[in-house]
Chain A
Amino acid sequence: MARSPSVGPSPAPGLVTPVPWWRHRRVVPWVVQGAVALTVLVVVAFLLGNLIRNLTAAGLLLTWNWLGQPAGFDISETLLPFNAELPYWRGLAAGLVNTLRVVITGLVGSTLVGTLLGMASFSGNALLRGLTRTYVEVVRNIPLLLQLVFWYFVVFLSLPNGTAALQLPGVVLAKSGLYLAGFGDGLHWIGPQLQNGVWQAPLRLSVEFGALLTGLIAYTAAFIAEVVRGGIAAVPKGQWEAASSLGLSWWQTLSKVVLPQALRVIVPGLNTQFISLAKNSSLAVAVGYTDLYSVAETTLNQTGRAVEVVLLLLGTYLALDLFISLMMNGLNRLVQIRER
Chain B
Amino acid sequence: MRPSARRWLPLAVLLAVGLVGCAPEGGGGVQSTKMGTITSRGKLICGVDGSLPGFSFVGSDGTYSGLDVDVCKAMAAALFGDPGKVEYRNLNSSERFAALASGEVDLLSRNTTMTLSRDAAGGNALSFAPPTFYDGQGVMVPTASGITTLKALAGKPICVESGTTTELNLADRMREQNIPYTPLKFQTGDQTYAAYLQGRCVAVTSDRSQLAGKRSSFPQPDAHTLLPDVMSKEPLAPATVNADPVWADAVRWTVNTLFQAEELGITKANIAAKVAEAKANPNQADLRRFLGVEGEFGKQLGLPADFVPKIIAAVGNYGEIFDRNVGPGSRLKLDRGVNRQWKEGGLIYSPPFR
**Separation of A197 and B199 alpha carbons in the complex (Å):** 13
Q: Are A283 and B3 in contact (CB under 8 A)?
A: yes
Of the listed stretches B60-68, B155-163, B204-212, B307-315, name the one at the interface; the rest are far from the partner chain.
Answer: B155-163
Q: Which residues of the partner chain B approach A175 to less than 8 Å between Cβ atoms?
A: 198-200
- B349 contacts the other chain (Cβ, under 8 Å)? no
Q: Complex Cα distance A157/B197, Å?
A: 10
Nearest-CB distance from B161 to chain A (Å)? Answer: 10
Contact across chains for B184 and A60 when beta carbons are under 8 A apart: no
Mark interface residues in A49-62 (1 if CB within 8 Å of B CB, else 0). Answer: 01111110111100
Max count, chain B CB within 10 A of own CB: residue among A53, A60, A280: A60
Give B241's nearest chain A residue, CB to CB.
Answer: A58
Decide if A153 touches B17 in the complex (CB within 8 Å): no
Residue of A76, A144, A298, A304 near B184 (CB, 8 A) is A76
Q: What's the nearest-Cβ distance from chain B to residue A111, in Å?
A: 20
Q: Which B111-168 residues have a C-beta within 8 angstroms of A?
A: 117-118, 121-125, 154-157, 159, 162-164, 167-168
A298 and B1 contacting across the interface, CB-CB below 8 Å? no
What is the CA–CA distance of A58 and B23 in the complex, to the nearest angstrom? 12
In the complex, residue of chain B having the shortest beta-carbon distance to the beta carbon of A284: B187
Given A196-B155, A207-B200, A298 and B125 touching (CB < 8 A)? no
Question: Considering only CB atoms, which chain B residue lies closest to A59 in the complex?
Answer: B121
A window 75-131: CB within 8 A of B: 75-77, 84
Is B351 part of the contact surface with A, judged by Cβ < 8 Å? no
Which residue of chain A has its CB nearest to the CB of B24?
A: A57
B195 contact set on A, CB distance < 8 A: 153, 157, 288
Whether A205 is near chain B, meaning CB under 8 Å from some CB there, is no
Would A310 and B168 count as touching, CB distance under 8 A? Answer: no
What is the distance, in angstroms, from B39's C-beta to the closest C-beta of chain A? 23
Q: What per-residue 1/0 map shows which CB atoms of A161-182 lie under 8 Å from chain B?
A: 1000000000000011000000
**Which of these binds chain A: B94-102, B289-297, B326-334?**
B94-102
Instruction: Check B2 for interface membership: any CB of A closer than 8 A.
Output: yes
User: Among the listed B11, B121, B185, B202, which residue makes an inter-chain contact with A290, where contact means beta carbons less than 8 Å apart?
Assistant: B185
B123 — which chain A residues lie within 8 A by C-beta? Answer: 303-304
Q: In the complex where A51-B19, A157-B198, A285-B187 touch, is A73 in contact with B4 (Cβ < 8 A)?
A: no
- Write out the residue numbers on chain A whose beta carbons fall within 8 Å of the beta carbon of B183: 73-76
Scoring B93, B94, B164 by chain A CB atoms within 10 A of each residue's CB, the highest score goes to B94
Complex: how many Å from CA A207 to CA B201? 12
Q: How far is the CB of A171 from chain B (nearest CB, A)?
A: 20
Contact mask A291-317 → B, CB, 8 Å, 1/0?
A: 001100110111110110010011000
Q: Decide yes or no whether A47 CB sits under 8 A from chain B.
A: yes
Give the chain A neighbours of B22 by CB distance below 8 A: 50
Q: Shortest 10 CB-CB distances between A and B: which pairs?
A: A145-B3, A51-B18, A301-B163, A57-B24, A157-B198, A304-B124, A310-B11, A76-B182, A84-B171, A59-B121
